[in-house]
Each structure stands twice: as structure tokens, then as C-alpha cells.
Amino acid sequence: MVIQATTRVESLSTSGIHQIPKEYIRPQEELRSITNIFDEETNKQKPQVPTVDLTDIESDDPEKRHKCSEELKKAAMEWGVMHVVNHGVSGDLIGRVKAAGEGFFGLPVEEKEKYGNDPDGGRIQGYGSKLANNASGQLEWEDYFFHLVFPEEKRDLTIWPTTPSDYTDATTEYAKQLRALATKILSALSLGLGLEEGRLEKEVGGIEELILQLKINYYPKCPQPELALGVEAHTDVSALTFILHNMVPGLQLIYDGQWVSAQCVPDSIILRIGDTLEILSNGKYKSILHRGLVNKEKVRISWAVFCEPPKEKIVLKPLPETVSEAEPPLFPPRTFQQHMEHKLFRKNKDEVMQN
């Protein structure tokens, strides 16, 4: 089977194939670590991603607030990922966001194609599938819908789905609430580094410049899940990433040198620390390597919102307060755009050397 640039993974999944095309088969050294996600989910022997209760993140009681900040800091330093509960985003709104995303991906492929993107032509927002932009020509078992959701004046509503009808309202309100949650989390993490409360938010662009981008990841059923990945191992370039999912497991993270599966915790949002905060904190906060497994029984959907600094306006480098003679800067100064380009260049270089 020839994989066209516009071949959707959903179409492959529903075509009745029993073997996946070779472009989706992972390299041999990677295959050894791909396991059955449902077995992994019930494996209590492995370390578990921490759960952090945000009830007291803005408490008037200094002791309670400090305790909450310390838990957040500990998870960010040791893991770089956590389930956050009592986060202040209502279950009703989260239900609407999920229903809207599921409704869009429930449309026929040809209907979704009306929102198709064109990364080669510079149009990255919209409906798409991973193109082979790496040296190995490797593809991932996912389709997605990607667009900027905050600030509102920077959105391009012409590419937002009109079906389901609640998509725009639900997504807009969710983005607004996540933006407020990001401020609370950045404040707590600033205190965790001994900085003033508003410092990290200021360093990533502040109220005006921090942008939120939503990527709905759609992982269709895969006839050979032991050979494929929904998303390959990577770290996020963002400052923070917030993730919802449809309670189907699949997210894995490297912890203590082994792949660990994130459990499905009801009413939680998964929070990941991205490269931006790792750089600013001089490596004290961890940007964790993660990937997505697929399965043959259930479709998995996740909603990832990336909180990113402006591409050119800010130079990312370890903050002076995080650097000392004993802890010299681990990262050279780069704009966010330069950091993204550096990662892509390094990744392609590594792949060329491996092939």
C-alpha cells in the first residue's frame, strides 16, 4: 500500500487491513520497549505518576498554600508530569470539550478534510496527520486537529469546526479557564524556585504574549499495536502542557530509565512541564520524555493544550537566580523559535546517523 501525504490513519484503521504499512513500523531498538498498554495500566509494581491536589493553591491560609506549592514543586522536579485534581475547571465544561472533539472526529473523513491543513505550505492549523518530516520517513498512528485557542484576538475562527455547534463556545471557555490555571501554577512554581510570584509568567510572555495551542490527538484502533506508536518519544517545547483524554490509557513517560504508563485518574487534568520551564529553571524542573502507545480495541483521544512563549520576542536562558558556580547554566540562550529549530535539527541529525 502506498501512503499518500493525505492518507488519514483513521482511513487505514477502518479499511480492514491486518498488517500496518511499513512506514508505521518502529525501528527494531524501539520495538523491544513497546508493550500492551492495558497490561501496563494494571501494573502496580512500576512507579506511579504523582497526583497533586490544587484545592489550596490560592488558599488564604499561608501554611496550606505553601504545602500545595511544595507538592507541585516536588512533582515538577522529580517527574515533570502529574495528575492535577481540584483544578477549578468544571466537570461540565470538560465534558463539553470532550463531546465537541469526539463529535468532530466522528464526522466522515471527507467532511473533516474541509479543515485540512498544509504544513508544507505554511498552514499548520487544521486537520492533519503526521507527515514524514524526519530522516527515517517514519509515520505515527494518529490524526489530529491543531489550532491556536488563546488569546482570543489571535485566533483564526475560519478554521474552527462548525460541527458540533458547541465546539467554539466550549473550546473558548476551556481555553480561558486553562489560561487562568496556568497563572496559578506558574506562580506556585516561581515560589518553588525562590522567585517572586509573577516571575515565571513574565518570563514566558505574560498576559499579552503567552499563547495556548490545542492539539486534539485521535489514535484509531491499530491492528498491530506492538509495532507502532501513536506519537514517538519527545519532550514538549512549551512552558506547560495540559492534557485531557477519553480515559483510554496510552501515555507513557520515562522515569528512572524505564517507560512508565500514566494511569487514568478520573476528573484530573494531566500537567506536563515543557522545555521552556526546564530552561528557565536551569534543569530544576524536568521536561519529561514521553510517547503514546496505541491498541487494537479502543480509539484513544487526547486534548493537549500547549502554553507557549512568543517565538522571537523572548530569549530563553536559565534565570540568574537558578545559576551558581556549583550549578552553571545548562542551556545556551535561544529564542523559542531557535530552540524549536535546534531540536528538529538535532533529531534529524541523530536519525541520519542511525540510518
Query: Which of these is catalytic: 245, 290, 317, 339?
Result: 290
Query: Three-state secondary structure along the chain?
Result: CCCCCCCCHHHHHCCCCCCCCHHHCCCHHHHCCCCCHHHHHCCCCCCCCCEEECCCCCCCCHHHHHHHHHHHHHHHHHCCEEEEECCCCCHHHHHHHHHHHHHHHCCCHHHHHHHECEHHHCECCEEEECCCCCCCCCCCCCEEEEEEEECHHHCCHHHCCCCCCCHHHHHHHHHHHHHHHHHHHHHHHHHHCCCCCCHHHHHCCHHHHCEEEEEEEEECCCCCHHHCCCEEEECCCCCEEEEEECCCCCEEEEECCEEEECCCCCCCEEEEECHHHHHHCCCCCCCCCEEECCCCCCCEEEEEEEEECCCCCCEECCCHHHCCCCCCCCCCCEEHHHHHHHHHHHHHHHHHHHC
Is 347 considered catalytic here? no
Name, in order, each residue with C-beta under 8 angstroms of 290's C-beta and a sequence gap of 6 or more.
81, 233, 234, 235, 251, 252, 253, 254, 272
Q: Based on C-alpha coordinates, what's the Rg of the chain?
A: 20
Is 317 considered catalytic here? no
Is 184 considered catalytic here? no
Query: Which of these is catalytic: 73, 147, 215, 339?
Result: 215
Query: Which of these is catalytic: 73, 98, 147, 236?
Result: 236
Is 147 considered catalytic here? no
Query: Which of these is catalytic: 234, 296, 313, 342?
Result: 234
Residues belonging to the active site = 215, 234, 236, 290
